[in-house]
Structure 1
Amino acid sequence: MDKLLAMDVFCRVVESGSFVKASERLGMSTTAVSRHVAELEGHLDTRLLQRTTRTLRLTESGTRFYERCQLILSEVADAEMELDQQRQNPSGLLRISVSIPFGARHFAPLLPRFCERYPGIEIEVVASDRKLSLVDEGIDMALRISREFDGSLIARPLAKIHTLICAAPDYLSRQGTPVTPDELAGHVCLVYNGVPEPYVWSFECPQGELRQVRVQGGFQADNGDFLLAAAEGGMGITRQPSFMVAEAIAGGRLLPLLADYRMPALQLAAVYPSRRFVPAKVRAMVSFLQEEWGGPVAPWDAWWQK
């Protein structure tokens, strides 16, 4: 038995003064109305209505129960209205996990526009290059870059992330410029160790085959900004997402290498715990980011894809 429905039907019968009029107001048959009231009385083991062929009146227990039903149904209606307003105007604290390099460059600049659109949402950024547990850390959603995502999370694709091989002009003048991926084995490479097999770099060759090269180097870090600074200082060749090296290449501090070879693209996605009902504040942020980054070419790639 649907208790709320039965209570609503019972109240409509009392207010209408008859089963027939209640059925017209509710858009259901008189038989269905009578059945809901009978099931409610059976569940409560109490007579709520005294019925005759001409009259319908509340019992003493029915009167008290009717008053309670009115309060309960009113509270339910208010709660539904509040949730509906929240769906239309999302609000509350939204905790977002994002890596420091990407977050500072491309997520933070969007926040003023988002907050202007959704003034009821408060933002707390959890900036970390570690992959945090969303549930354990109380995080609503995260922006993650990967080829595969945790199956226990919902992942909404936002944009492709392309990777470039770069080095400073000073390093290339001293050590020479590699022309093929195999030549990287003879160079000093700056390695990001926050991924499995950090010293194995994969390339898509012009002919379409996948080529893996084992590199070597004397510097590694779990943060892209350290590697970027080392590369700009002439310490070696770095493998970096295009969103990291755009300014350095535009300013001539780094030169892109191996233009005929591409590294397999990664996926930027908004991830959040798997649940049936996604909070309105999370849906608002995901939709906003899809608008900002979901075009044919991501904003951070437009400069080099031209």
Structure 2
Amino acid sequence: MRAAISHKFAREYGMGTQQWGENIFHPGTFTGNPSLSVTVSHYMISLRRRKARAGQPVTSAKSMDEDTMRKLWEFNMFYTDNRTEAVQPISRKEKAETPTLWAGVNVRIMLQVLYITAMLCLLRSDEVLRIRWSHVVFEPFNGSFRIKITLPFRKTHQTGGIAPFYLYPNYTKPWMCPARAWSHWWTYMQVNGGFAGFVFRRRVGYDRLSEHSEDALSPEAVMESFRLNLLDILINPKPYGTHSFRRGGAQYLANTLRWPLTSICAWGGWTERYDNPGTIFKYLVSWTDTPTVAREDFFNPMRRGVDPCHMCGRMCHCA
């Protein structure tokens, strides 16, 4: 709420981002952003302390994990491989009787691209929704292709200088394969939308997308579709949010791909000096996430092994 008010004063009222205070040249008048005053800052700090003292934990969106991504992919690809549903508009009665009829093939393909791009590139919802076709390049790679995504704007790089993201095929885990997801979406857009404007278009009805290239999908529409998609696979959507993919991506890189923290920070663009460890730590640990190891299994010598690595074949937890 404070961030929204600060933005309102800064952008729409033109008060900037300087601290609110009395003008030394004109006593009795004030300059700066009222939301950034010392009084408000002290109040926010005391509020956080009072909430912590009362036992209210800081709640983050539950992170997306690989197993949930696999279930979403399997359910949505079922629609892709079984194009037998009617193309005419779906009635309210049909929707009530069959909850999965909230979206069809094309919407689900678009969502899969959005899910995996946001997760692997550690993007915020507004960043992934602002991707345009001019930001995406398909480059030849080892008999297939890789995807190069260059964003012109990010929260942490508002003046440019953003390093591109390179995404490669993942043949062992199709549910985590950006090349497969993007190729499906590229095929649809080649026939129906063309490669201009935004990659993710606004929904129109059951399974159509806007024909206007500048008609972008909204964060609210993404959240509604994401929650309905989770209900498809019998998962409670309440703990999840659009930030779930950014948090889940950080945990996937750290716990599954075993990237060092410096590589995760460099890839996600969190910091260049690594002087704020709390920034990355809050993405890796939260009480809302499902524990990956039971307490009694940390030193259990009979603990079940992990899936074998497709490179070295090892199944131990230290691989």
User: TM-score, normalization: structure 1?
Assistant: 0.24
Asked which structure has the greater CA Rg, the reply is 1
Which is strand-richer, 1 or 2?
1
User: TM-score, normalization: structure 2?
Assistant: 0.23
